[in-house]
Chains A and B, each alone.
Chain A
Amino acid sequence: MEKRITFNKWSVGILFAVPQLLLIFTFFYWPAGQAIFWSLTLQQPWGGGNIWVGLDNFKAILASSDYWNSVTISIIFAGISTGISMVVAVILAALTDRQLRGSKFYSVVLIWPYGVAAPASAMAFRFILAPEAGFMSVVNHYWPGFWDPGLDGTAAMASIIAAFSWKYIAYSFIFFLAAFQAIPRSQIEAAAMDGAGVLRRFWDIQFPLITPTIFFLLVINITESFQDSYGIVDIMTSGGPHNSTNLMVYKIIFDGFKGLDYSGAAAQSIVLMLLIIVLTIFQFRFIERRVHYR
């Protein structure tokens, strides 16, 4: 007979959850609550006092064309960099998984970039993409004026996308490689014996089996590209030229900590949080249907 231990009193269960709840409350709910309060007031930066203004902060940012520009380019940035990171990572992982010569070496090398801090990689990319001194100076030599991130917003956007994707290719690669390696060899070998080529095996066997990973990475990559881009923007473009790389998260930190407009920044961070929540719900609601977990 199976012996079951049950706790009748829910208080015992709560007791076990308390340490975790405390952590979540301290590091998430409390600051988030604070941000909501700040977004409804005008805060004096030195803490001298605050004035209740209701939704004025939200009205102010939603009426600002600069803010909508920031939202638009953040979505473009998230879309393109997530696309590049995931497509490149899945190709690299599929190739590494084929156990070609040197794949052990590649799998280590390809993970490295994720370990590099964003400002450091941004610094490296700034050198590489500098129009006068770096790699792009060669391109400019043959095609004068082609690459000018100092005044051309598209070039500046391309630079930060390149730097961000470089890092997240490595991140996605780790998960894709693990997903590929979890697929039983026998299935692929059986398909090979039936005469399926590399691409056919990929599309019909491996790809459907890694859809949970693809979905997971899609959610994470999009979320991270909204949140983790500050270091890269700060080092490479400072949001310029003429606001063309002023992503939402950069604008929040700039307005809040450099401009000392705590309330405006709090309101912006609430909007960013809502946007990420909506995007994530959307993904779970509509994309997850196509995911095969087993």
Chain B
Amino acid sequence: MSKLKNYISAAAAGVMSLALALPAAAAPTKFDFWFGLSGDLERVVQTMCKNFNESQKDYEVVCTSQGNYDATLQNTIAAFRAGKQPAVVQVYDAGTATMMLSGSYYPAGKLMSENGYKIDWNDYFPGIARYYATSKGELLSFPFNSSTALLYWNKDAFAKIGKTEAPKTWEEAADDMKALKGAGYECPMAINISGNESWQLMEQFSAIHNQPIATKNNGYDGLDARLEVNKTKFVKYVTDLKSWYDQGLIKIKSKDLGQDMVQAFASGDCQMIMTSVGDHGSITKTQKAGMNWDVAELPVYAGTERKNSLVGGASLWVLSGKSADEYKGAAAFLNFIHDPKTALFWSTNTGYIPVTNSGFEFMKSSGFYSKAPYKGREVAIASLTASEPTPITRGIRLGNFTQIRAEFGNQMQAIFANKVGVQEGIDNLVKNGDAVLERFEATYKGKQLP
């Protein structure tokens, strides 16, 4: 009896696998794309994948969100070690150095030319491309979702102190904060000081002031780069931030405390914040009804010649060890994403900016930047293209940078809690950050950054 059962189930399994195998013969080549966006942004990516799959019949991309950037990198590494890696993966800005040394990628340029696609690499905004390019300027991955930091300011509050423009310098910003406080505003500016804010407080600040974060041109020229933020204008900046905090001009807002800075700005509780242009959309959606606000470039200290700000976000890497067919599919997919029409779709549905000149021009010509909810986002492009990137404002090429960002958070918290002085805290940041860099260098002994 049980034997009969076995035969039946074996036969059933056979029929089923046959049924599955038959249409598969004519089915498109499947390949995987892993990404780290979630929530609203995940839906936009999935729609983009659907559009790609419907636009042609030869390939099918299977898009899977891994929740966040960290998890995407972790899961990809685990999958790579097991030989089950996706063809395309989204890796965040801070993971670029790790990727370049991994020896596990298929260079973007090679992929596209081998598969017959012509990509004009000079079309990418230099401020974006150089962040992900090698020190020689070759792009190994495709810049994808990109943003930069902006100053968000509440026009209504500024009107109360008789101003119609955002502060351009930090000296002006300090006066404005005092005036706002005098006009009865409890929280003239909100910041947060966790590892995440290393991006706007340390990295963007250093770039627009043309100050190095690390030696060897921020690490582009070698793995023996070491931090040097304890000797730059960054020290003065932190000193000022701390003194404004002590005077009650700046408040710390974080999710752990009940309200993060974006919420604090959108609700009208705080009058200025520095955050990604990617938050433009969510502030529009969640703002207090009738509140007037705008975005501006981050302030600089008086007398500074402003340089380009840094791009934030992620790029798309193609991984090694996949079949030629999968690479064909990946190339077609990346070509689809590169298209200006996709750029318009992507930027409309997210707060991210276009990464190519042609994408930007296409969006301008379609009237995107003059439409109400999107107006102002062109400031991000202006900030990114404020100057030709200098050797220092190309980006940051440091190993295990996530740990250095975490260390930034630790030391800023210690400084703001009066555990250590400003200089001492930043010295600690350099000391502990250098230990991370030394370990990274030792791990990749004898290897060179491309």
B256 in complex: contacting residue of A42, A44, A236, A258, CB < 8 Å: A236
Q: Does B80 contact A (CB under 8 A)?
A: yes
- Chain A residues with CB below 8 A from B406, complex form: 239, 254, 258-259
- Chain A residues with CB below 8 A from B443, complex form: 42-44, 51, 263
What CA separation (Å) do A85 and B84 show in the bound complex? 43
The answer to whether residues A255 and B403 also contact, given A66-B432, A242-B411 and a CB cut-off of 8 A, is yes
For residue A158, give the distance in angstroms from its CB to the closest CB of chain B.
13
Q: Does A54 contact B (CB under 8 A)?
A: no
For residue B42, give the distance in angstroms from its CB to the closest CB of chain A.
19
- A residues 227-244 near B (Cβ < 8 Å) are 236-243
Stretch at the interface among A108-116, A128-136, A176-184: A128-136
A149 in complex: contacting residue of B257, B402, B414, CB < 8 Å: B257
The answer to whether residues A133 and B400 also contact, given A238-B194, A240-B409, A242-B414 and a CB cut-off of 8 A, is no
What CA separation (Å) do A237 and B410 show in the bound complex? 12
A46 in complex: contacting residue of B77, B257, B258, CB < 8 Å: B77
Stretch at the interface among B32-40, B96-104, B209-217: B96-104
Q: Are A46 and B81 in contact (CB under 8 A)?
A: yes
Q: Does B117 contact A (CB under 8 A)?
A: no
What CA separation (Å) do A153 and B435 show in the bound complex? 24
Looking at chain A's contact residues, is the secondary structure mostly helix, strand, loop, or mixed?
A: loop
Q: Are B80 and A47 in contact (CB under 8 A)?
A: yes
Closest A residue, CB atoms, query B251: A132
B254 in complex: contacting residue of A133, A150, A153, A258, CB < 8 Å: A150
Q: Does B445 contact A (CB under 8 A)?
A: yes
Q: Are B258 and A151 in contact (CB under 8 A)?
A: no
Q: Are A133 and B417 in contact (CB under 8 A)?
A: no
Q: Are A133 and B258 in contact (CB under 8 A)?
A: yes
What CA separation (Å) do A133 and B252 show in the bound complex? 14
For residue A26, give the distance in angstroms from its CB to the closest CB of chain B.
16
Q: Are B258 and A131 in contact (CB under 8 A)?
A: yes
A259 in complex: contacting residue of B81, B403, B411, CB < 8 Å: B403
What CA separation (Å) do A264 and B435 show in the bound complex? 12
Q: Does B439 contact A (CB under 8 A)?
A: yes
Q: Are A42 and B442 in contact (CB under 8 A)?
A: yes
- B residues 66-113 near A (Cβ < 8 Å) are 70, 73-74, 77, 80-81, 98, 101-104
Q: Are B98 and A45 in contact (CB under 8 A)?
A: yes
B413 in complex: contacting residue of A45, A236, A240, A258, CB < 8 Å: A240
The answer to whether residues A132 and B257 also contact, given A151-B417, A263-B443 and a CB cut-off of 8 A, is yes
Q: Are A260 and B413 in contact (CB under 8 A)?
A: no
Looking at chain B's contact residues, is the secondary structure mostly helix, strand, loop, or mixed?
A: helix
Q: Does B121 contact A (CB under 8 A)?
A: no
Q: Are A46 and B439 in contact (CB under 8 A)?
A: no
Interface size on A, residues (CB 8 A): 43
Interface size on B, residues (CB 8 A): 40
- Chain B residues with CB below 8 A from A46, complex form: 77, 80-81, 98, 102-104
Interface centre among A131, A151, A241, A261 (most CB of B within 10 A): A241
**Tally of A-B Cβ pairs under 8 angstroms:** 108
What CA separation (Å) do A15 and B104 show in the bound complex? 43
- Chain A residues with CB below 8 A from B157, complex form: none
Q: Are B417 and A242 in contact (CB under 8 A)?
A: yes
What CA separation (Å) do A71 and B414 show in the bound complex? 19
- Chain B residues with CB below 8 A from A151, complex form: 252, 413, 416-417
- Chain A residues with CB below 8 A from B435, complex form: 60, 64
What CA separation (Å) do A236 and B403 show in the bound complex? 19
For residue B447, give the distance in angstroms from its CB to the closest CB of chain A.
9
What CA separation (Å) do A243 and B416 show in the bound complex? 14
Q: Does B285 contact A (CB under 8 A)?
A: no
Query: 1/0 per position for B109-145, CB-CB distance to A under 8 A?
Result: 0000000000000000000000000000000000000
A243 in complex: contacting residue of B74, B254, B258, B410, CB < 8 Å: B410
- Chain A residues with CB below 8 A from B436, complex form: 259, 261
Q: Are B256 and A150 in contact (CB under 8 A)?
A: yes
Q: Does B419 contact A (CB under 8 A)?
A: yes
Closest B residue, CB atoms, query A148: B257
Q: Are B70 and A258 in contact (CB under 8 A)?
A: yes
For residue B431, give the distance in angstroms from its CB to the closest CB of chain A.
10
- B residues 401-450 near A (Cβ < 8 Å) are 402-403, 406, 409-411, 413-414, 416-417, 419, 432, 435-436, 439, 442-445
Q: Does B259 contact A (CB under 8 A)?
A: yes
Q: Does A25 contact B (CB under 8 A)?
A: no
- Chain B residues with CB below 8 A from A258, complex form: 70, 74, 402-403, 406
**Given A45-B102, A47-B77, 9 other A-B residues pairs in contact with their CB atoms under 8 A:** A42-B439, A44-B444, A45-B77, A46-B81, A46-B104, A134-B258, A150-B252, A243-B410, A261-B436
List 5 contacting pairs A-B, 8 Å CB cutoff, sorted by A: A46-B80, A66-B432, A131-B257, A241-B417, A254-B406
Q: Which residues of A are at the interface with B, using a C-beta cutoff of 8 A?
A: 42-48, 51, 53, 60, 64, 66, 126-127, 130-134, 137, 148-153, 236-243, 254-255, 257-261, 263-264
